[in-house]
Every structure is written in structure tokens, then in C-alpha cells.
Amino acid sequence: MPLLRLTTGTFGQLRTFATSASLAKRVKTFAVYRWNPDEPDKKPYTQNFEVDLDDCAPMVLDALLKIKNEVDPTLTFRRSCREGVCGSCAMNIDGVNTLACISHIDQNISKPTKIYPLPHMYVVKDLVPDLTNFYRQYQSIEPWLQRENEAVKGKETQLLQDVEDRVKLDGLYECVLCACCSTSCPSYWWNGDKYLGPAVLMQAYRWIIDSRDEATEKRLSKLKDTYSVYRCHTIMNCTRTCPKGLNPGRAIAQIKTLLSGIVKKQPPIMDPAGLQKQTASN
Amino acid sequence: MAFSMFLRTSGCQSRMFTQQAMRLATQPAITQRMISSSLPIRNIMKDTKTTPILNAIRSFRTSCVRRSAEKVEDHSRLWVIERVVSAALVPLIPLALMMPNKLFDSLLAILITAHSFWGLEAIAVDYVRASIFGPILPKIAIGLVYLISIATLGGLFYIISHDVGIANGIRQFWAIRSDAQKS
């Protein structure tokens, strides 16, 4: 660039494109929450990092990785797939719970981007929340297919499912358990120990309405108490914040209608054991 | 990996949970590294100052998921009744205001009191939590909700029996005119 400037005088018409505007970097400030468990008495604080956006890939996770690589290697956060399918990098960016890897950096240089861990969660370090309770609640809904007669090992046959029954699972199975929705729910903030939260409830619904699952009564009976489902007051922060565009609020509403007894789970269109019966009769 | 560790636990028990959580905090692997990491666990358990993570998990109070053997409270029927009452109030309030009579007034009193009771109860259950208010205050809060609801019902029935009634009372409220309007 400076070399070209030398030539402007000699050729006269050659305009320097190395103007001061493009030489100056587009510097964005990131205000990141920091806390170190090795210094537990030091209160959490916000550390400002400057990142040249012209030298950084477009997503917030890219900026965090650039900061970790070039400025402060102690910055700690979870990440894995960098494409929005694993749910590791869930954090609060400018007040919104999303995945950092699919969240574009706001190009407005005048305002800093605030990066905080998921709200109302115990912090392990910096941007890493303790999701132990979240996983325990997911385990409690028994997220696997349950049938009356388990197939004999070695003689399993495919369980049949009609296309319409499979469509019912669309919008439910794509959940990556990032915990963005549950940690955006005020009811989960106040009663997270007993209220299951939108993520877990949506998965509970995913198994309840699976046409191949036969433990519907048992699953619903585990949700009947005052806290597991009924702390939901349709605040709908969950649907608003889901980075995958899913609708946990609607799933919870469907659970409530099933629990009320007014709506019942429809029988499967295609008998799931159809193939098994066919092979048995052959 | 933490999740797979949980899948190995035999259901949720509060005692075991803290132990499991401790093991998770030190991130053992499922294979041979388990042995090498068991030593740090003992060291960490002695010296709590260097591992605040464990402090955070240890102080974590979560209510255990119920086993199917325990008696389960059924809130689903109450939930349906709450919604039915809310739905019933929508046509009933304008109807009762248009045609003031003792029957509608009594029905209104009961439904309004029930609706407010369930609303206040939800507020008390959601916000007055034992984890911040201790064991006694939440019970006092619920008791207050009961008290307020009974007083409301009593007051409304007093208005119906010894006064003009609810519908007439509300209509009279609207009949108040300011001195400037009266001319």
C-alpha cells in the first residue's frame, strides 16, 4: 500500500486507493463476562476486547476464537461444530440467547457487543454455564422409545411409521439441547429445580406423540404435578429465542391439552409392529 | 460426556447426585483415566478453597425427580377448571352488568373470587420460593392468599345481601359525575 502512494506523484493520474479510510481498521469492541473459579473471591467483571472486523470472520464465535487465539488465551467458552447443530456455544449475545456460531457480529462499530453466559445459571468459568440440572431433567423424561413388548435381541424388525405420523415429529426432533430456551424462561429462572423448562418439555412431547411409542400414559402421568409442566404461563420467551427456529411454547401447550384429557393421542396410522407380525406369520 | 455419565446413574437420588456431580466436576473419562483422576477427587474434597466449581455444585439444591412409586399430585383437573372459570367469566361479566340480579351476582362473586385466588396462588407459588425465603414464609404467603380470597368472597356476598349488589354497585360507580359535568 505505501509503495503505491510513492507513485501517485509520478503518474499524476494515478489516484491512491490506499486512502486513510481503508487503512484504518474497523474496530469493534466486545464486552465479555469474565469470572475465574481459581480466584473465586474476585467478583465477575466485564472485559473489553477490540477486534478488527475486516480481519475477522463474520460470526460472534469467530470473534471469540480470534480473541482467544490472539489476545487472551484464558477466555473460556464451549464450542464444537461451528455450524449451529451441536448446541455447545449457547450464550447471551446482546441480551439474546443464541448460538454464537450462527450469530452475525453487529457491524455497528459505535456500540460494543455484550457477551454474557446463559442467564440464571451457575457459571463454571467465563462463558461456561453448569448444565448439570438441565441434563438431569432431560434424563428424567426418559428420552427413548418405549414399547410394551421389547423385540427379542437379534430378531428386531423395523417399526413402521406413516408419513403423516412422521411429520408430527418435524419441529421437535431438530432440538440440539442448547438450553437457550430454558434459560430464557423466567419460570425456569425462579423454579428451575422443579419446573422442567421448555427444552426438556419439548423433548417429552416429542416422545409422547411419536406413533411408535407406547408409554404415553406413563409419560403423561410423570408430568401431572404442579411444577413439571404447569409453571409455564405462556411467556413465550422460549420460541422467540430458539436459534433453530423451533416452537417449544406450542409443544408445551400441546402437552397441557393432552394432560387435560380433552385431547387424546391418536392411534398410529400404520401399525408399528406390522412388519414384525408379518415376519412372525411367515 | 457428562450426559453419558448421567445415563449410567441408576435413577436420581439426592445423595448419589452430589457424588456424581462431584465426579463430573473433575471431568473423569469413562476409560483408564478414571483411576488417575480419582486421586484429585480426594484431594479436592479436602481442600475446598481451590475448587469453587465443587462449591457451586455442592450448594446446588435440586429436588429429586419422583419415582413412580410415590404418590403423584394431579394438578391437571384443577388446571382445566381454572381455564373453564376464565372462559365462563368472559360472557358472564357483561351479561351480569346488563341484567343485575342476585343469581348472576352470586355466580359472579364465586367465579371472580376463584379466579383471583388461583391467580394470586400462582404468584405466591412462583415467586415466594423456599430457596430464598426459607421454609416458613412461603406457607405464610399462601395463607395470606387464602385469607384475602375468603375476605373478598365475604365482602362480595355482603354487598349482594346487604347492599345494592355487585352489578348495581359497578353501574352506580359509572353514574358518578363530576361537579363540572353536572350542570
Nearest to B75 among A132, A222, A224 (CB): A224
Q: Which SS3 state, helix, strand or coil, does residue B131 take?
A: helix
Spatial CA neighbour of A94 closest among A137, A68, A45, A60: A60
- Structure confidence by residue, pLDDT tens digits, A195-234: 999 999 999 999 999 999 999 999 999 999 999 999 999 9
Confidence of residue A22 (pLDDT cuts 50, 70, 90): low
Does domain B75-181 sit in CATH 1.20.1300.10?
Answer: yes
Share of chain A above pLDDT 90, in %: 85
Q: Which residue has the higher pLDDT, A155 or B2?
A: A155
Q: What's phi and psi for B101, nearest 5 deg?
A: -155, 165
DSSP string, A226-241: TTTTTT-----HHHHH
Looking at residue B12, its pLDDT comes to: 44
Give the strand order in the sheet containing A27-34. A45-52, A27-34, A113-116, A90-93, A96-99
Give me Rg for the CA atoms of chain A.
26
Q: How far is the alpha carbon of B61 from chain A, nearest alpha carbon, in Å?
A: 8
Is B127 among the annotated ligand-binding positions?
yes
Confidence of residue A15 (pLDDT cuts 50, 70, 90): low
- Structure confidence by residue, pLDDT tens digits, A255-279: 999 999 999 999 999 999 999 888 8
Looking at residue B41, its pLDDT comes to: 45
DSSP state of B101: -
Cell of A193: 429445580
Q: What's phi and psi for A129, nearest 5 deg?
A: -85, 160
Residues of A in contact with B3 (CB under 8 A): 135, 138-139
**Is A94 within 8 Å of A32 (Cβ atoms)?**
no
Residues of B in contact with A222 (CB under 8 A): 66, 68, 72
Residues near A181 by Cβ (< 8 Å), separated by ≥ 6? A97, A197, A198, A199, A202, A237, A238, A239, A241, A242, A248
Looking at residue B183, its pLDDT comes to: 56
Residues of B in contact with A190 (CB under 8 A): 126-127, 129
Q: How far is the alpha carbon of B123 from chain A, nearest alpha carbon, in Å?
A: 10
Nearest to B72 among A193, A221, A261 (CB): A221
DSSP string, A88-138: TTEEEETTEEEEGGG-BPP--TTSPEEEEPSTTS-EEETTEE--HHHHHHH
Domains, chain A, ranges and CATH?
25-127 (3.10.20.30), 130-145+154-258 (1.10.1060.10)
Kindly state whether B74 is in contact with chain A, defined as any CB-CB distance less than 8 angstroms: yes
Kindly determine whether residue B125 and residue A226, on different chains, have CB atoms separated by under 8 Å.
yes
- Structure confidence by residue, pLDDT tens digits, A60-93: 999 999 999 999 999 999 999 999 999 999 999 9
Spatial CA neighbour of A256 closest among A174, A196, A212: A196
Task: For chain B, list residues with pLDDT below 70.
Answer: 1-72, 181-183
Looking at residue B150, its pLDDT comes to: 98
Confidence of residue A151 (pLDDT cuts 50, 70, 90): confident
Give me Rg for the CA atoms of chain B.
28
Nearest to B2 among A38, A135, A259 (CB): A135
Nearest CA in chain B to A227: B75
Q: Which residue has the higher pLDDT, B53 or A32?
A: A32
- What part of A 171-200 touches B (C-beta under 8 Å)? 187, 190-191, 193-194
Alpha-carbon separation of residue A259 from A88, A119, A171, A254 (angstroms): 32, 30, 21, 9
Q: Where exactly are the structural domains of chain B? A: 2-59, 75-181
Q: How far is the alpha carbon of B63 from chain A, nearest alpha carbon, in Å?
A: 6
CB pairs under 8 A between A and B: 86
Distance spanning both ends of chain A, measured CA to CA? 80
ipTM: 0.83
Only one residue has cell 405462556, namely A234
- In whole numbers, what is the pLDDT of chain A averaged over residues? 93
**Is A27 within 8 Å of A67 (Cβ atoms)?**
no
**Is A196 within 8 Å of A228 (Cβ atoms)?**
yes
Cell of A121: 445459571
- Structure confidence by residue, pLDDT tens digits, A233-251: 999 999 999 999 999 999 9
